[in-house]
């Protein structure tokens, strides 16, 4: 199993690497196209601001490489949002894998949405063994709108897509690497896809 | 629904936990990693490590501790204490910390909040504020509460929110260590005037204090140290009782 975490300078990727290590898998951090293409499984992480992150992807040409990947890809947090068509954050065009838009939470709730909330309406192998209304840790100010590719939802101000799937592409808004044992189970499921 | 968070705080000196800890099943109660794992296993929602080391050499050991915590603990954690530069924050985040907490350094140079939020994102910038009432007004204090300032708690909190803080950790010096409950009136005022999460700190003595700070104080999270470390309030019992009081909590 060759697992690559795409390293394009966005955010806390050590935590993801450590989480896989707890599962017994050594993940490689890389921004090298050949290494990414040769991987069995790919993690597309992201913490930070969308337009800055997208600029970093463009610098390395990863913006054209990522949508063409054929292995299982898991976008986490901003990684998931960048896989969508468009995000209001920094008025940024996304990679267009998931046919949905990313919007900012209204100010009727505290922003960022920070802490533990439940995921429900689960429908994917990614959530095998995960019960409905399981708690996950989230930190985000923008959310993906529902679409045909929604595989989990969460309520905060509105009901939004907290996970998406399009063919080999998976995206989760929450941080499985920080979501206790249930989160680790999801990462383990991803490795088995 | 988004749940209220329970956050044990660990004081760290030279890479070791300082306050006495009375915890069952620990091989080494002074090892922050052992303690952190234990807390994660019993249902703590997050952890805060407060580095009270006096020297730079001692702080270097904290980076090593942060790596070991990130390797072994599967819940988010914040590191605070003596952080005043972008480089220091960069190093802590690269070691695997999820958030950093800044306090006096933000008062001395408020632009630090903007710089950290711009570079790393608001989600990892916690501004800790220590305050106590002087003639009926909440005044911000520095250096662990020892140095009073003229700054008003509520104005300063609003300012750091506007500068990009993602969260506020408010410790009432009047309540800290008393075990008489949290500063709920001030907390509610903060929570209502700001649109970022507020962590209540200082005064936890029993389970009802947590109920009150979530209900009356409108806090998003509650932080405590000794009641958890000495096993006075086991976290599973606390969370069960909060649930019985109809407070959203992760069980």
- Segment B96-126, tens digit of pLDDT: 999 999 999 999 999 999 999 988 888 899 9
Query: Which 3 state secondary structure label does DSSP give B115?
Result: helix
Q: Is the pLDDT of residue B57 over 80?
A: no
Task: Lowest mean pLDDT of A12-16, A84-88, B221-225, name the range.
Answer: A12-16
Q: Do B74 and A107 touch (CB under 8 A)?
A: no
Residue B210 pLDDT level (bands cut at 50, 70, 90): very high
Disruptive mutation site among A5, A7, A14 for chain B (greatest number of B CBs within 10 Å): A14
Across chain A, mean pLDDT equals 95
Range B163-182 average pLDDT? 94
The token duo for B191 is: 């929570």
Q: Do B122 and A114 touch (CB under 8 A)?
A: no
**Residue-wise pLDDT tens digits, B82-100:** 899 999 999 999 999 999 9
Instruction: Report the alpha-carbon distance of residue B115 to residue B20 in Å, rounded.
Output: 36
Q: Do A179 and B197 touch (CB under 8 A)?
A: no
Q: Are B78 and B107 in contact (CB under 8 A)?
A: no
Percent of chain A clearing pLDDT 70 (strictly above): 99
Q: What is the ipTM of this complex?
A: 0.92
Whether chain B has a CB inside 8 Å of the CB on A64: the answer is no
Contacts of B250 in chain A (CB under 8 A): 116, 135
Q: Measured between CA atoms, how close is B223 to chain A, in angstroms?
A: 14
Whether chain A has a CB inside 8 Å of the CB on B82: the answer is no
Nearest by CB to B195, from A107, A116, A175: name it. A107
Q: Do B120 and A48 touch (CB under 8 A)?
A: yes
Q: Do B40 and A117 touch (CB under 8 A)?
A: no
Q: Do B250 and A18 touch (CB under 8 A)?
A: no
Q: Is the pLDDT of residue A18 over 90?
A: yes
SS (H, E, C) A66-98: HHHCCCCEEEECHHHHHCEEEECHHHEECCCCE
Q: Do A112 and B196 touch (CB under 8 A)?
A: yes
First to last CA, chain B: 13
> Which residue would you say has higher pLDDT here, B20 or A168?
A168
The token duo for A151 is: 């595989």
* A74, A123, A163, B81, B214 from A191: Cα distances, Å: 10, 17, 17, 38, 39
Closest residue of chain B to A119, computed from CA coordinates: B1
Across chain B, mean pLDDT equals 92
Whether chain A has a CB inside 8 Å of the CB on B94: the answer is yes
Range B130-157 average pLDDT? 93
Q: Is the pLDDT of residue B145 over 60?
A: yes
Q: Are A149 and A100 in contact (CB under 8 A)?
A: yes
Give Dmax (Cα) for chain B: 48
Residue A131 pLDDT level (bands cut at 50, 70, 90): very high
Instruction: Please report how many Cα atoms fall inside a 13 Å half-sphere around the Cα of residue A85, on the Cβ side.
Output: 8
Q: Do A15 and B98 touch (CB under 8 A)?
A: yes
**Residue-wise pLDDT tens digits, A53-98:** 999 999 999 999 999 999 999 999 999 999 999 999 999 999 999 9
Task: Lowest mean pLDDT of A143-157, B14-28, B185-199, B223-237, name the range.
Answer: B14-28
The token duo for A154 is: 């969460």
At CA B29, angle to CA B26 and CA B33, rounded to 5?
85
CATH architecture label of A3-192: 3-Layer(aba) Sandwich (3.40)
Q: Is the pLDDT of residue B27 over 60?
A: no
Whether chain A has a CB inside 8 Å of the CB on B2: the answer is yes
Name the E strands within B52-107: 77-80, 99-102
User: Would you state the pLDDT for residue B29?
Assistant: 64
The token duo for B181 is: 């409950």
User: Would you state the pLDDT for residue B2?
Assistant: 96
> Which residue would you say has higher pLDDT here, B18 or B64?
B64
Ordered structural domains, chain B, with CATH: 5-244 (3.20.20.70)
Query: Which 3 state secondary structure label does DSSP give A27?
Result: strand
Q: Measured between CA atoms, how close is A125 to chain B, in angstroms?
A: 22
Name the E strands within chain B: 5-13, 16-17, 47-51, 77-80, 99-102, 125-134, 137-142, 147-152, 167-172, 198-201, 221-224
Instruction: Report the alpha-carbon distance of residue B132 to residue B148 in Å, rounded.
Output: 9
Q: Are A5 and A13 in contact (CB under 8 A)?
A: yes
Whether chain B has a CB inside 8 Å of the CB on A14: the answer is yes
Render A112-178 in DSSP notation, one character per residue. SEEEEEEEBS--SGGGTTPPTTEEEEEEESEEEPP-TTEEEEEEESEEEEEEEEETTEEEESS-GGG
- State how beta strands B221-224 and B147-152 pair: unpaired
The token duo for A156 is: 């905060």
Contacts of A113 in chain B (CB under 8 A): 2
User: Would you state the pLDDT for residue A52?
Assistant: 86
Closest residue of chain B to A15, computed from CA coordinates: B96
Contacts of A156 in chain B (CB under 8 A): 2
User: Would you state the pLDDT for residue B47?
Assistant: 98
* B77, B128, B169 from B53: Cα distances, Å: 18, 18, 20
Q: Any idea which residues of B carry the catalytic annotation?
A: 11, 130
Contacts of A49 in chain B (CB under 8 A): 121
Closest residue of chain B to A114, computed from CA coordinates: B197
Residue B26 pLDDT level (bands cut at 50, 70, 90): low
Q: Measured between CA atoms, how close is B135 to chain A, in angstroms?
A: 31
Whether chain A has a CB inside 8 Å of the CB on B161: the answer is no
User: Would you state the pLDDT for residue B60?
Assistant: 75
The token duo for B66 is: 């942060």
Q: Which residue has the tokens 């003595």?
A: B205
Q: Which residue has the tokens 């080391």?
A: B53
Burial B202-217 (b: 16+ CB within 10 A, else e): bbbbbbebbbbbbbeb
User: Would you state the pLDDT for residue A135?
Assistant: 98
Whether chain B has a CB inside 8 Å of the CB on A67: the answer is no
């Amino acid at each position: 199993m060759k697992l690559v975490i795409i390293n394009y300078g966005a955010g806390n990727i050590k935590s993801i690497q450590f989480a896989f290590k707890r599962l017994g898998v050594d993940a490689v951090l890389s921004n090298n196209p050949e290494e990414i293409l040769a991987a069995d499984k790919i993690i597309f992480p992201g913490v930070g601001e969308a337009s800055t992150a997208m600029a970093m992807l463009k610098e390395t040409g990863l913006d054209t490489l990522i949508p063409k990947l054929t292995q299982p890809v898991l976008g986490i947090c901003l990684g998931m949002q960048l896989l969508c068509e468009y995000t209001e954050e920094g008025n940024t065009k996304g990679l267009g894998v998931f046919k949905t838009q990313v919007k900012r939470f209204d100010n009727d709730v505290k922003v960022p949405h920070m802490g533990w909330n439940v995921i429900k309406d689960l429908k994917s192998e990614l959530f095998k063994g995960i019960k409905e209304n399981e708690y996950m840790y989230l930190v985000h100010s923008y959310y993906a709108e529902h679409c045909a590719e929604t595989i989990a939802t969460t309520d905060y101000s509105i009901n939004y897509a907290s996970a998406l799937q399009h063919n080999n592409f998976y995206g989760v808004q929450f941080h499985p690497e920080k979501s206790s044992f249930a989160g680790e189970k999801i990462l383990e499921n991803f490795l088995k896809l | 629904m988004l749940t209220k968070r329970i956050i044990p705080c660990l004081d760290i000196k030279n890479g070791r936990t300082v306050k006495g800890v009375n915890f069952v099943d620990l091989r080494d109660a002074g090892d922050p990693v052992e303690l952190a794992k234990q807390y994660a296993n019993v249902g703590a929602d997050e952890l805060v490590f407060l580095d009270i080391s006096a020297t730079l050499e001692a702080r270097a050991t904290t980076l090593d501790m942060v790596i070991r915590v990130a390797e072994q603990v599967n819940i988010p954690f914040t590191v605070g204490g003596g952080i005043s530069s972008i480089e220091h924050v960069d190093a802590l985040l690269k070691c695997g910390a999820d958030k950093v907490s800044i306090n006096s350094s933000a008062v001395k140079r408020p632009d630090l909040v903007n710089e950290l939020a711009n570079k790393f994102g608001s989600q990892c910038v916690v501004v800790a504020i220590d305050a106590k009432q002087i003639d009926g007004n909440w005044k911000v204090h520095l250096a662990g509460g020892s140095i009073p300032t003229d700054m008003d708690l509520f104005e300063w909190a609003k300012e750091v929110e506007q500068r990009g803080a993602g969260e506020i950790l408010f410790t009432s010096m009047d309540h800290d260590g008393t075990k008489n409950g949290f500063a709920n009136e001030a907390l509610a005022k903060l929570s209502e005037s700001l649109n970022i999460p507020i962590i209540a700190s200082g005064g936890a003595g029993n389970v009802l204090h947590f109920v009150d700070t979530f209900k009356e104080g409108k806090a998003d999270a509650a932080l405590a140290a000794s009641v958890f470390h000495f096993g006075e309030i086991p976290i599973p019992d606390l969370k069960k009782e909060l649930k019985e009081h109809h407070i959203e909590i992760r069980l």
